[in-house]
Structure 1
Amino acid sequence: MTDLVRRAEEWLAQDPDPETREELSRVLRDGDEAALLDRFGAKLEFGTAGLRGELGAGPNRMNRVTVMRAAAGLARRLGPGGHVVIGYDARHNSDVFARDSAAVLTGAGLRVSLMEDHWPTPVLAFAVRHLDADAGVMVTASHNPPRDNGYKVYWGDGSQIVPPLDEEISAAIDAVGRVDELPLGSEWETLGDAAIVEPYLAALAELPLGEARDLRIVYTPMHGVGGAILLRAFASAGFAAPAAVEAQFTPDPDFPTVAFPNPEEPGAMDLSLELAEKAGADLIIANDPDADRCAVGVPLPEGGFRMLTGDEVGGLLGEYVIARTSGPGRSVAASIVSSSLLGRIAEAHGVRHAETLTGFKWIVKAGDGLVYGYEEALGYTVGSDQGLPVRDKDGIGAALTVAAMAAEAARDGHTLLDLLDRQAQRYGLHATAQLSVRVQDLSLIAGAMDRLRSGPPKELAGRTVLSAEDLSAGVDGLPPTDGLRYRLAGDARVVIRPSGTEPKLKCYLEIVTPVERDVPSARVRATEELSSLKAALSAALAL
C-alpha cells in the first residue's frame, strides 16, 4: 500500500487536470487500496493499436498525463523538425488530449498541424500523406464504451504503426519524466475544412462509383463524427441526401441511444431499422463513432431488413472494385480472420490476393498495386487505378462505394442479395460466424489459449482437425501473433485470437458449402453446420 500511495502522490503532483486530481485525491483520502491498485498496479501498454482504455487517473487510465507522456515519447522517436498531424473525435476529452499533444510536440521542436474540429479517423489517415507529414495522431476509441478513449499513431505512409516502431515509441515513453517539466509550445497550425476535408472529399470522388444514383438510403453515424462529412460526400457524388437517424446524428460522447456504439452489437441498429421500414429504404448505412467502419443493411423480399455481415460486404465490394479497375499489377488483401471468398474472387479475375494479420496496419502493407482491402469487422478501404486514397479503414469511402454498387444493381433489376447469391453459385457459399467471449479477468483468455496450444482438439462438430497452426510461431510468411488456426475437413476453418482492444477472446468460423441445388438450401445447411461448430468450439474453450 505504501508504494501505491507514493506513486499516486507523485502522479497527483504532476497532473494538470482538476477532474482527475480530485478523483485521485478522493481515493487517497478514502484509503481505497483496491482503487489504487486498479489505477497504479498496471499501466496502459503502448502497442500497434496505440493506447486505449477507460478515462480516469493513473497510468492504467486514459488521462492528460498518459497522453502527454505518449506525445513526448513520439517526439523523442521522431526528433526535432518532424511534422505531425493531429486529429480527434467527439469523445470525452478528445479535444483536450489533442491540444495537449500539440503543446508537447511543438515544445519538443516539431511542427504540428491540428485539425480545427472533430473529424473522422479516415480524414486524419488521409491528411498524413496529403500533407507529407512524418506522423499522425488520432485521439479516438472508435466504437468502445463511452468512458473509454484512445490514442492511435500513424507513420508517414498514412498507415498505423507496426513493429518495431511501436516498441521504439513505447521505450521512449517509458523514458519520459514528469510531464509538468516538459517544455510546452503554443504555436501550431490549425487545419481548416478547405485544407483537409475538401481534398479528402475530392479524393473520394475518384473512386469507382459508376453513374447510377437512384437509391433511398437511411444513415446513422451512431452519435459519432461521420454524419456531416458523409452527407457532403454523398451530395458531391450526386446521391440524394440519405434519411438520417436524427436521434443519433449529432455527436454525443455518451452515446445515449445504444448500449455499445458499435453497429455489430445487439440493438445498436434498432433505430435505423425502424426508420428504414418507415421510409421504404433500399439501403441502410451505418458508421461507427469515428467513421472508420461501415455497416450495411438491406430489405428482404418477404419484408423487413437484415444487416449484412462484414464478410458479405467484403466479398461484394471486392468483386465490384476488381471489375472496375484495370492493370496487371492490381492486388487485394484481407486479414486471416476474414472470409477466404476474396481470394477465390481474385483468382477468378486474375488479380493478386494477399492474406495478412488482423488490422489495417497490415492489410495496407500487403503489396504494390493494392486497390482494395477489408477485414470482417466492418472495415474496408476502397481504391481505384490510382491506388488507395486512405491507407486505413474508411467508412465514408466504403459507404459511397456500397451505395454506388446498390444503385447499379437496382438499375439492372437486382439487389445486393441477388449479388450475394450469384457469388455463392460461382465460388461456393462462404458462410462465416463469430464466437466472442467477453471476460473480466484477462488471465482466463491466456489460460484458454494455453490449454488449446498444449492440447488442440482432434475434431470439432464431427469434422476432423486436419491442421492446428500456432500463429505465434509465424506461419505462411506472416509475422508472429497471438492466435491459433484450425483447418477442418470439409473446407472449414477456425481462427482464435485475443482481441487487441477489448477484454474478449474472439473466434472466427468459416464453412464453404457447394451450391448443389439452390442457394437458400445451401444457406440453411451452412447455418446449421456453423451452429454445431460454434457449440463444439465453445465447449473446447471451456470459458
Structure 2
Amino acid sequence: MTTNNRIEEFLSQADEYLRQEPEASLREELSELCTRAQAGDAVACEELADRFTGSLRFGTAGLRGRVEGGTNRINRVVVARASWGLGRHLLQGAMGVSADRGVVIGFDGRRMSRQFAEDTAAVLAALGVPCWLFPVVVPTPLCAYAVRALKAAAGVMVTASHNPPRDNGYKVYQATGGQIIAPHDSQIASWIDQAPSQIDRLCPFEAAQAGLRKIISESVTEEYLSAVGQGALHPGVLTRQPISVVYTAMHGVGHALVERALRGAGLKGLTVVPSQTEPDGAFPTVSFPNPEEPGAMDRAVALAKETFAPVIVANDPDADRLAVAIRQEDGDYRQLTGNEVGALLGHDALAYMDTGDAPKLAVTTIVSSTMLSRIAEDLGHRYAETLTGFKWLADAAIRGLKERGEHFVFGFEEALGYSVGPLVRDKDGVSAIVRFVELCAWLQEQGRSPQDELDRLSLAHGLSVGQQWSARLPGQQGLAQIQQIMESLRQRPLTELAGVPVVARCDLKDGSSWAQSDPERRSMELPAANVLVYYDAEGTRLVVRPSGTEPKIKLYLESVGWPKQKADIDAVTQERKQRLEQIRAAINVRLGLD
C-alpha cells in the first residue's frame, strides 16, 4: 500500500498521538504537518508516513531520535511509555534487584532533556518506583557512576550524545552501572508495547512527600572526582611538570566537571574555548556536535596556536567521549584517531597501573585497532574483544572480575570512547581527559611527546593503520537500503579485497564462519549481531555493520605493518593507507556507496 493510500491511517494515528502529547510546541508543529498532508502536500505526506510508520524501537542503546511529534520520534509521549515499560520491568524483579532501590536520572543540555528527565521521574513515581534526580545537567559518566554509588536498581540518562542538534535520547543502565544488555532490552520493549494510552504521572511535590523523589547531592560528584584523582598512574606529575592544555566542551555539559578534575590533579595551564563552554542544545558554533567531524575543533585549534599549547582535549556534548589533537613540529595540530589514543592510554594502564596480585584485563571491540591485543600480550596481560558498544566492554569487565578475579584496567572503542579503569562501567570522557593530560606531562618530563610514544609503540608492537567510513541513509527507505546491503553481502560474500583473496570470514548474525587457510584464527564466539567480518591473505580486516544509534551503514578497515626503525614508519604507514584506499574504493563500488 502506498503512502498516499495510507494517509488517512497516518492522520488517524497522529490524531491519537495529539490527544496524549502534553507539549504544546510538539502538538503545534505536528498539527501543521497534518494540515499540509490533508491538503495533498507530497513532502508532508512522506514526512507524516515516516513519523508514524512503526514506533521508535527500544534497544540496548535505549532510544534515540529526532525531537518531534510522532510514534517514530522522541517526545514526551514516547519517553513516558519508555519509562512505564522500564518501571514495570523493574517491579517484576527482572533486573535481579528490588525496584525499591530506585532509579538514578540524569540529563544533558539538549532540547527538552530536562523535561524528559522530569517525565521519567513522574511516571516512575506513579508506579511506586523511587527516583534519584540530578538537579542540573550532568555528563553521562557521572550518571553511570551514581547508579553504583547510590546502589540504585537502574539509571536513565537523557542524552543523544554526539548526534545532530535536533536529536535526543534515553539511555538505560543496569544496577551494575553498565548499559542494559539482552534480554533486558527486548523485555522492556515488550512492556512498552503494553503501555496504556494514558499514563499516570505523579507531580514532584507529591512524589517527594511520598519518598519517591530525591535530589542527588553534591557529595556524589565530590566522591567521583576524588576517585578520579586517586586513579592517577603518575601521581603529582601535573604539579612537577607544567603543561599548557586547551579544552573545549563543544557546547556540552563537560566543562564544569573537567575543569574541577584537572585543577584537582594539579594542572594550572588550562585554557578553555569560551564560546563553547556553556551547555547549549542549539550548538551554535559547530555544524555537527561531534569532535570526529571535520571542523568541529577549529576554535580549539585556533586558541591552542595563540597559547602555544602542545595538547588539545575535547569532549562531545555529554562528555562520554574524548578527542585529542597534538602539536606537530611545524606548529600545526594533528587530531589523533581513537585507535591512537587507545594505544597510548592502553599501554599506560597495562604498564603502570598497580593491581596488586590481581591479573590485568584490557578490552576493546571487534572494529577497533588490534594494537591493544599485541601490547597486552607482549606485557603478559589478558586481552578480550567484544561487540561494538561499551555495554559489551563493561560486561566483559564484570565477567572478568567474577570468573577470573581480573582487574579491568582499560577499555576503548575507536569512536573516541575510553574507560580508564573500573570506576565507571561506561565510556568516560572526563577521567580519560585527566589520564591523557597526565600522560602528556609525564612524557614531557622525559623530553618526549605523544607522537614519540606512538612511534615507540609502533616499533615495539606493530603499526596498525585503520580507516572507518559510513553512509548516512535516513528514513524508511534508508533502513531498507541498509538491510539490502547486509543481505547482498550474505548472499554473495566478498571473495577478495581489491585483488587480494579473502581467506576467512564470519557472520555474527548466526555465528557461521569460513576459513580457507587459517584454521588457527581466533574464534569469534560473540553474541549474535548484524555484523560481517572479512580477512584477506595479507591480514587486512574489514568489518561491516549497521549503526546501532544512527541511520548509517558503517565499514571499518585495519592493516598492520612492521617498520624496522623509526625512519621506516612514514613509508610503512603510507603504503598501508594506499592499500586501504584501494579496498575502500572497491567496496564502495560493490555496495553502491560511491
Q: Aligned match of 1:338 in 348, 365, 368? A: 368
Which residue pairs with 1:507 in the alignment? 555
Equivalent residue for 1:382?
A: 420
- Tell me how many residue pairs correspond in the alignment: 539
Candidates 271, 274, 288, aligned match of 1:243: 271
Where do 5+ consecutive residues of structure 1 fail to align?
Answer: none
Deviation at 1:53, TM superposition (A): 0.2
1:140 to 159, 166, 169: 159
> Offset at 1:538?
1.8
| Contact 2:63–2:170, Cα closer than 8 Å, also in 1 | yes
1:60 aligns with 2:60: no
Q: CA deviation at 1:240?
A: 1.4
Partner of 2:543: 495
Identity of aligned residues (%): 45
In structure 2, the residue matched to 1:355 is 385
One of 123, 128, 138 as aligned partner of 1:104: 123
Within 2, Cα distance between the matches of 1:245 and 1:110? 41
Deviates more, 1:233-242 or 1:84-93: 233-242
Is the CA contact (8 Å cut-off) linking 2:56 and 2:73 kept in structure 1? Answer: yes
Q: Is the 8 A contact 1:223 1:248 kept in 2?
A: yes
Q: Which amino acid aligns with 2:446?
A: D
Alignment match, 2:425: 391
Q: How does 1:235-384 map to 2 (within 5 A)?
A: 235-325=263-353, 326=355, 327-366=357-396, 367-368=400-401, 369-383=407-421
Task: Decide whether the 8 Å contact of 1:334 with 1:356 is kept in 2.
Answer: yes
Are the counterparts in 1 of residues 468 and 557 from structure 2 also a CA contact under 8 Å?
Answer: yes
3-state DSSP of counterpart to 1:312: helix
Q: Per-residue CA shift, 1:118-168, capped at 9, x if unaligned?
A: 010000000000000000000000000111000000000000000000000
Q: Are 2:183 and 1:164 equivalent residues in the alignment?
A: yes
Greater shift in the superposed pair: 176-185 or 212-221: 176-185
1:416-470 residue CA offsets vs partner (Å, 9 max, x unmatched)? 0000000110111111111211223221111111111111222112322111211
Residues 14 and 344 of structure 1, relative CA distance in 2, 3 Å threshold: same
Work out the CA distance in 2 between the residues paired with 1:236 and 1:191. Answer: 25
Matches of 1:192 and 1:163, distance apart in 2: 29
Is the Cα–Cα contact under 8 Å of residues 122 and 201 in structure 2 kept in the other structure? no
DSSP 3-state at the match of 1:497: strand
Of the structure 1 ranges 226-235 and 34-43, higher mean CA displacement relative to structure 2 is found in: 34-43
1:88-145 CA-to-partner distances (Å, cap 9, x unmatched) read 0000000000001001111100110000100100000000000000000000000001
Question: What is the CA-CA distance between 1:505 and the residue it aligns to?
Answer: 0.9
Match of 2:481 among 435, 438, 444: 444
CA contact (8 A) 1:208 1:324 kept: no
Mapped partners of 1:437, 1:529: distance in 2: 21
Distance 1:140 1:484 in 2: 29
Q: Distance in 2 between matches of 1:190 and 1:243?
A: 36
Partner deviation per Cα, 1:230-257 (whole Å, 9 max, x = no partner):
0000011111152111111111101111
Contact 1:50 1:151 in 2 (8 A): yes
Do the aligned partners of 1:498 and 1:504 also contact (CA within 8 Å) in 2? Answer: yes
Query: Aligned partners of 1:482 and 1:455: how far apart in 2?
Result: 16
Aligned partners of 1:182, 1:247: CA distance in 2, in Å? 38
Structure 2 vs 1, CA of residues 276 and 91 (structure 1 numbering), >3 Å: closer, same or farther? Answer: same
Answer yes or no: is the 8 Å Cα contact 1:457–1:540 preserved in 2.
no
Cα distance between partner residues in 1 of 2:278 and 2:489 = 45
Output aligned runs, 1:82-231, within 5 Å. Answer: 82-181=101-200, 186-187=207-208, 188-192=212-216, 194-210=218-234, 211-213=236-238, 214-231=242-259
Q: Residue in 1 aligned with 2:586?
A: 536
Per-residue CA distance 1:19-58 (angstroms, 9 max, x = gap)? 1121222233332533331221221100001000001111
Measured after TM superposition, the shift of residue 399 of structure 1 is: 0.4
Q: Distance in 2 between matches of 1:179 and 1:51?
A: 20
Secondary structure in 1 aligned to 2:132?
strand
1:484 correspondence with 2:512: no
CA contact (8 A) 1:116 1:190 kept: no
1:43 corresponding residue in structure 2: 55
Q: Find 2:88's aligned residue among 76, 82, 107.
A: 76
Taking a change above 3 Å as real, the CA distance of residues 209 and 193 of structure 1, as seen in their structure-2 partners, is: farther
Distance 1:182 1:89 in 2: 22
The letter for the 2-side match of 1:533 is: I
Q: Distance in 1 between matches of 2:314 and 2:144?
A: 20
- TM-score, length-scaled by structure 2: 0.88
Distance change (3 Å), C-alpha of 1:190 and 1:278:
farther
Q: Is the 8 A contact 1:209 1:400 kept in 2?
A: no
Q: Which stretch shows the higher mean deviation, 97-106 or 524-533?
A: 524-533
Tell me the distance in 2 between the aligned counterparts of 1:90 and 1:241: 27
The alignment partner of 2:237 has SS state of coil
Question: TM-score when scaled to structure 1?
Answer: 0.97
Match of residue 510, structure 2, among 446, 456, 473: 473
After superposition, what is the alpha-carbon deviation per residue over 1:390-412, rounded to whole angstroms, capped at 9, x for unaligned? Answer: 00000001000000111000000
Partner amino acid, structure 2, of 1:405: L
Query: What residue identity is the alignment partner of 2:472?
Result: R
Instruction: Write the letter of the residue equivalent to 1:248.
Output: Q
1:57-112 deviation digits (Å, cap 9, x = unpaired): 11111110100111000000001534100000000000000001001111100110
Q: Assess if the C-alpha contact under 8 Å between 1:140 and 1:150 holds in 2.
A: yes
